[in-house]
Chain A
Amino acid sequence: MLEVENVVTRYGVIEALKGVSIRVERGEIVAIIGANGAGKSTLLMTICGQPRAASGRIRFEGREITDLPTYDIVRLGIVQAPEGRRIFPRMTVYENLLMGAVPTGGRYLEEDLERVFALFPRLKERLHQRGGTLSGGEQQMLCIGRALMARPKLLLLDEPSLGIAPILVRQIFEAIVAINRERGLSILLVEQNAYQALKIAHRGYVLASGRVVREGTGRQLLADPEVRAAYLEGGQ
């Protein structure tokens, strides 16, 4: 469904991605793991057209999206829950969720809200609280909930476990698996928490200095001695 082919992304003279190719099939959870600065977030942002790929091609459902403006990419069904959550702090939880429904024009509002509340009951309790007063974990739930309100076909998650209490990390990963199983939603997940990510992923890629250095199923990567040495032991 998503094919990224030989994508190079530059920030000025620095090449953050040096020809990355990945793909995501319908209904898959694909994890991208790697150290800080490996280019994981850049890859997600490039898929959204922010920044643009300097060369290479990105196709979604057979259509080339490399040069589309971000808002059109979102309307095609690629929605990102960005790194650092980026919820709207002065707006209430409800208003935040409404912002997510912009691409659908609010047509399925009631139904989609119910689905988000079923997934994250905590959000319903906090409905009229300001986004900025939520805990980190709740904000992450709101961030994912907001992205789901857009009815994505492919959900991009950037570091959903960053800065969140371990107990909430587990809840959030459970929710990610649930979204994928129940709705068959394809998910591209970027994580530093490699163990958690590979455990739930169908397939994974290891990124290092802007290149894919390993790929395989989640289980293969978890068992790979080099991956273990570099990203798993020490962490877990």
Chain B
Amino acid sequence: MNTAIRAPALADRVKDAALAAFVAFALLAPILGMETVVGPDGRLTLAFHFDLVALGVAIVFIGRLLFGGLVAGRLAVRREGGPISRFLSRYSTVLGAAGLAFAVALPFLPFSSRYVIDVATTVVIYVMLGWGLNIVVGLAGLLDLGYVAFYAVGAYSYALFAQWFGLGFWTCLPIAGLLAAIAGILLGFPVLRLRGDYLAIVTLGFGEIIRLVLINWHEVTGGPNGIADIPRPSFFGFPFTRNPGEGEIAFHQLFGLEFSTMHRVIFLYYLALGLALITNLFVLRIRKLPIGRAWEALREDEIACKALGINPTNTKLTAFALGAMFGGFAGSFFATRQGFISPESFTFIESAIILAIVVLGGMGSQIGVVLAAAVIVLLPEIARELETYRMLFFGAAMVLIMIWRPRGLLAHREPTIRLARRGGAA
């Protein structure tokens, strides 16, 4: 329903703008208005800049007066995706294929350098994490603020199994996925009854618990020092080294190439891409199965689901477990790519970024996640030249995107199944 919201009356807007100006004053007075300077006698004194405060407050007042109503009006209209997102999802298969072709060709395009491939690998990891979290948040509708915990479990599983038992990446990958899935179920059990905000708080706590365990359990995790010298991946047993050890054949020898450090970078990129594609195929497939539909139904109405004979406990736990499993895969990859991990890498901000990717992409949309991951990883990269103002720019861009597309970049949900496909059953 595109009911137009009437613009608020002028008096209301002035009142609203005055309130915004007051908040701005309260914030700006100490931040901009006062400066500690060294006085002539060598002591610190306060210098006041009332002109700056006045300017700031005036900008906020006028800006709010001009645009406040506009923004509020747009936000109030809960749209089911405009023409752009409908266009994007209609041609999602074409777009997906084009994007995939681009991703596969990327390392061989003229402009790609080590930097480009490194950034692209990061984008792909976040795409994968976004797709994993999308199962929990986008499909099952369970707000999870501690997703980074599963990423950490995956990373540490690989690092520890490799260090202690000398297991290789491909052996550790399923183990890491399994352990992360178990962690997902452990988190799932106590929070089954919770919903919305309450669930979000508990998952937030869970993420912190995992991080604190990693910091404090010195004997196993190395505490804040983390784990170094994690084995780098090999090309199915052929290492990426200049001088392979006794009886070993290095990747470049196998293919008769000149040794280059780029081989490993490109291999890591394709590895990430492969893992992400597996995640995508899995999610696309499972959405069409009864369990996938049950997740979406559970997000929409839990009581109705119960009345239809769906076991909400099992349904939620599978969502947590599978979402966590892909987080674990991504974590393993992260560990092998970095070669060094520490609890620093698994702070709340990571969870927030992954969640932002899912929300920004339009909850439940696969291509949306790709777009959002690209935006979130690339924006700070593009803004590197802005230096100090980089994160400010990033924040402002996020706010603008959410104003422009309050339900995410791609909010239009395509049905997972149509009767016509069943070959004239009707």
A interface, CB within 8 angstroms of B: 48, 50, 69-71, 74-75, 79-82, 86-92, 94-95, 98-100, 102-103, 106, 110, 113, 117, 124, 127-128, 146-147, 150
Q: B308–A91 contact, CB under 8 A?
A: no
A124 to B419, CA, bound (A): 10
B interface, CB within 8 angstroms of A: 290, 293-294, 296-297, 300-301, 303-311, 413, 415-419, 422, 425-426
Residues of A within 8 A of B300 (CB): 88-91
Nearest neighbor of A156 in chain B, beta-carbon distance: B307
Greatest chain A CB density within 10 A among B290, B306, B310, B311 is at B306
User: Are A70 and B307 CB-contacts (below 8 A) given A95-B293, A99-B293, A124-B426?
Assistant: yes
Residues of B within 8 A of A98 (CB): 290, 293, 417
Nearest neighbor of A50 in chain B, beta-carbon distance: B306
User: Are A80 and B307 CB-contacts (below 8 A) given A94-B417, A95-B416, A128-B415?
Assistant: yes
A69 to B197, CA, bound (A): 26
User: Are A100 and B308 CB-contacts (below 8 A) given A91-B296, A91-B297?
Assistant: yes
Q: A102–B307 contact, CB under 8 A?
A: no
Q: A48–B306 contact, CB under 8 A?
A: yes
Q: B309–A90 contact, CB under 8 A?
A: no
Q: A74–B307 contact, CB under 8 A?
A: yes
Q: B415–A102 contact, CB under 8 A?
A: no
User: Are A95 and B417 CB-contacts (below 8 A) given A88-B297, A88-B301, A106-B290?
Assistant: yes
Can you list 23 residue pairs at the A/B interface with Cβ under 8 Å?
A50-B306, A70-B306, A71-B306, A71-B310, A74-B306, A79-B309, A82-B304, A86-B307, A87-B301, A90-B413, A91-B297, A91-B415, A92-B415, A94-B417, A94-B418, A95-B416, A99-B293, A99-B308, A102-B310, A103-B309, A110-B422, A147-B307, A150-B309
Q: B308–A146 contact, CB under 8 A?
A: yes
Q: A75–B309 contact, CB under 8 A?
A: yes
Greatest chain B CB density within 10 A among A70, A80, A147 is at A70
Residues of B within 8 A of A71 (CB): 306, 309-311
Q: A99–B307 contact, CB under 8 A?
A: no
Greatest chain A CB density within 10 A among B290, B300, B416, B426 is at B300
A87 to B301, CA, bound (A): 8
